Amino acid sequence: MMGDTVFGKIVRKEIPAEILHESDRVMAFKDVNPQAPTHVLIIPKEEIPKASDIDGKKHAELLGEMFDVANAVAKERGVDESGYRLVFNVGPQGGQEVYHLHMHLLGGRQMRWPPG
């Protein structure tokens, strides 16, 4: 099946996830292998493999909703004041493992720069 990634299975409720937000277009759920006290993934339900497949005009509303959800999650998890990190890994050298677009929201500890 096209775009049959683990996140596609979560969208279709074929496998479980700790879902924090769900709308017609966007889902947010906890990362199963958290790299920070707060580690949430925000994904479109639409199967866009990676950030470089985004068309700014076509996906503007979808991306806007993903950022609205990220902002809401940051508030709900209590990291909005302290700060946090939003990350898109893109392709092999970007460290992308799941080819269904996702934004990482990492918070609850001091982030370092440069990233690994």
For residue 34, give both structure tokens.
């958290």
Binding string, 3-22, against ligand AMP, x = CB under 6 A?
---x----------x-----
Name the token pair of 5.
């990634």
CA 108 remoteness from chain centre = 17
Q: Is 93 in the site for ligand AMP (CB under 6 A)?
A: no
Q: Which of 39, 100, 102, 104 is catalytic?
A: 102
The string over 84-106, giving b where at least 16 C-beta atoms fall within 10 Å of a residue's C-beta and e elsewhere, is bbeeebeeeeeebeebbbbbbbb
C-alpha distances out from residue 9 to 13, 41, 78, 104, 106, Å? 6, 14, 29, 18, 23
Least Å distance, CB 3 to ligand AMP, is 14
Assess 72 for contact with ligand AMP (CB under 6 A): no
Element (H, E) at 20: strand 19-22
What is the pattern of x (binds ligand AMP, CB under 6 A) and - over residues 42-71? ------------------------------
Q: Which is nearer to ligand AMP, 74 or 81 (CB)?
A: 74
The catalytic site residues sit at 102
Q: Which residues in this chain contact ligand AMP in the complex, by CB under 6 A?
A: 6, 17, 31-33, 41, 89, 95-98
